[in-house]
Amino acid sequence: MIQVEQYGPVIAIRMARRFMGKPLYWSTAYWLDGLLVDTGPAATAAELVRVLEQVPVTQIALTHAHEENMGGLGALRKRYPDIPVYAAERAQPILQDPTQLQMQLYRRLVWGVPAPAGEIIPLNEAADVVRTPRFVLRAVETPGHSRDHVCYFEPQQRWIFSGDAFLAGRDRSWAREYDLLGVIGSLQTLAGLDIERLFPGSGNVRRSPTNDILDKIAYLLQLARDVERLEAAGMRSEAIAAQFFGKDDDNLAFWTQRQFTALNLVEACRSYNTILRAERGPRRMSPFVHFDDEDDAMGAPDRHASGTDASSADPSTGPASDSAADMGDALR
């Protein structure tokens, strides 16, 4: 299942496998001036190749090596065998051997299994820059969601293709591999870029997202402080998770083989607090922006597995290229 939306010269291609006629989880690739940012999953790769027949594809850039973001690369390699593909150097091992993802059954069912990627150009060998005829995108390291995560920032337009560096809403469960120190640091990086338009992996495009990003930082910092307070009072992680989030979503925990749980989020907060205590000592402040304690720590869920992300899409980015306009018209 594919949906196509246009934002000036940027084409958003949202992809999802259907179950009983409904999309299971949306992933998004973005086309800009011949460049494709991310490829969506293997499960929708054949549809993506058909859609892209209407525009030129001259290069590919990946935000990170998760199956829903890069799984379509194998099919695109067959269709475009000679085009360059860029990714962070840290993504190379998984791209060459996707079995390192150790995908649970639900991931194989929802997104399919990626094929080995073939030759990849590490971004550091391209001076962390991807150029198109009309635009220059700079790779920005944004670890946390994964160690290899990067975003692509177009400084003249102030657009950012953010992958999964920013997941909107209030988290209630996390994957085991997420790193809170990295997530907060990456969100701080994004908040400092004065972004005009954010193109995330969910496909829910946002205009002027800085306040949303700062709200997410505030929520995570407050949550970490709340966990530290209850930990100091002698509560165990399981009890803290139950107090903050109630009973785990049994369906989510079951289908993900407990990859996504509230306990993982609490443990991430504890790890974050341990690192900060060791680095700052008893009198040093956190290296991150301080938010007042009265900031609300609880709220609606935002977990990667749920794909929740309120959209503030606006199609008035600017003049579209001919290829973008033709494709948008043809697919409506």
Q: Using the predicted structure, report yes or no on whether residue 284 has a pLDDT greater than 50.
A: no
Return mean pLDDT, the chain.
Answer: 85
CA distance 161 to 310: 17
Q: What local confidence, expressed as pLDDT, does residue 249 receive?
A: 60
Q: What local confidence, expressed as pLDDT, does residue 256 receive?
A: 78
Q: What residue spans define the domains of the chain?
A: 2-165, 168-191+210-305
Q: What local confidence, expressed as pLDDT, does residue 320 receive?
A: 41
Q: Exposure pattern of 283-311 as b/e (b: 16+ CB <10 Å)?
A: eeeeebeebeeeeebeeeebbbbbbbbee
Could you report the per-residue pLDDT of 104-148, keeping only the tens digit for each? Answer: 888 899 899 999 998 999 999 999 999 999 999 999 999 999 999
Strands of the sheet with 129-131, listed across from one edge:
129-131, 136-141, 150-154, 159-163, 197-200, 206-207
Q: What local confidence, expressed as pLDDT, does residue 294 receive?
A: 35
Residue 124, both tokens:
């550091």
Q: What local confidence, expressed as pLDDT, does residue 248 receive?
A: 59
Lowest average pLDDT, out of 18-32, 251-265, 307-321, goes to 307-321
CATH homologous superfamily, domain 2-165: Ribonuclease Z/Hydroxyacylglutathione hydrolase-like (3.60.15.10)
**Across 285-295, average pLDDT:** 40
Could you report the per-residue pLDDT of 26-41, keeping only the tens digit for each? Answer: 999 999 999 999 999 9
Q: What local confidence, expressed as pLDDT, does residue 250 receive?
A: 61
The percentage of residues in the chain with a pLDDT greater than 90, rounded to a whole number, is 68
Q: Using the predicted structure, report yes or no on whether residue 246 has a pLDDT greater than 90.
A: no
Q: What local confidence, expressed as pLDDT, does residue 282 receive?
A: 58
CA distance 181 to 89: 21
CA distance 222 to 204: 26
Q: What local confidence, expressed as pLDDT, does residue 53 receive?
A: 95
Of 195-199, 236-240, 242-246, 327-331, highest mean pLDDT? 195-199
Facing residues of 161 across strands? 152, 199
Q: What local confidence, expressed as pLDDT, does residue 297 receive?
A: 34
CA distance 312 to 314: 7
Could you report the per-residue pLDDT of 170-218, keeping only the tens digit for each? Answer: 998 899 999 999 999 999 999 999 999 999 999 999 999 999 999 999 9
Q: Exposure pattern of 197-211 as b/e (b: 16+ CB <10 Å)?
A: bbbbbbbbbbeebbe
